[in-house]
Amino acid sequence: MEKQCERCGNTFQSKRDTKKFCSETCKQYAYLIRHGLNIPRLHIVTNVNDTKQQHLNMEEKITFKQPLIIKLIEDFMNNQRDLDSMISNPDSYWNKNDALMIKWVNMRLKCILHNLIRLSYKPKVFPATLSALSGAMMQFVRSNKYRLLPENYPYKFFIKQLTEKIREVTEQSANYSEIKLPLTQRRKAEFIAILYNLSSVTPLRKFSELTFD
């Protein structure tokens, strides 16, 4: 039967009535949006030059306008494509011990990225919030599980760099009563691409539910 994708609006063929999305990508975006990430949706732009023409033209031309961030996310995702089996199925890629550690780390990483993106959409962030996140991240990189990660775990260096960056921002924000979290579109896209990679197997836990050491 012909169905319409709930995310992008494209029509697709499906044998099952329950299928809602045209592709794995749309399914994952929908998942991230459901979990509170304010990812811009594709929106339909109607190309109409003047209103007179609008009345004459019964068939309006419809195109999809792609926000920059979606393009950036897709670039990051294309670059991480070969990491897919490492991340989405640790048990098949690493030995049992490493896989356990990686799952532990993935869950924390997911929680941190998710929170950073959420905070970046807020008009104001309290330094105490950043400080709590920064403290957890510092514990995280000092933990045995992080330190014993296999060298080829793809986000090891990323986590360390991010921790340093967040510590800097936290220190800079200490003199203000509130700040706006400075996250560039590119950064945000990188985080979302990593979340996308993590999303299929890593459960999303609240910050307050996790320990980081």
CB of 10 or CB of 88, closer to Zn ion: 10
Residue (8 or 159) nearer to Zn ion, CB: 8
Q: What is the DSSP string of 148-201?
A: TS-TT-TTHHHHHHHHHHHHHHHHHHTTSS-B-----HHHHHHHHHHHHHHHTT
Residue nearer to Zn ion on the CB measure, 19 or 118: 19
Shortest distance in whole angstroms from residue 25 CB to Zn ion: 7
H or E element in which residue 2 lies: strand 2-4
Minimum gap (Å) between residue 8 Cβ and Zn ion:
3
Separation between Cα atoms, residue 125 and residue 108, nearest integer Å: 21
Q: Closest Cα partner for 112 from 74, 68, 167?
A: 167
Q: Are 77 and 193 in contact (CB under 8 A)?
A: yes
- Min dist. Cβ of residue 13 to Zn ion (A): 13
Q: Which is nearer to Zn ion, 6 or 171 (CB)?
A: 6
Give the shortest CB-84-to-Zn ion separation in angstroms: 20
**Nearer to Zn ion by C-beta: 23 or 95?**
23
Q: Which residues bind Zn ion (CB under 5 A)?
A: 5, 7-8, 22, 26
Q: Return d(Cα 131, Cα 158) in angstroms, integer.
A: 19
CB of 196 to Zn ion, least distance (A): 14
Calpha distance 40→155 (Å, rounded): 25
Ordered DSSP codes for 30-43: HHHHHTT--PPPPE
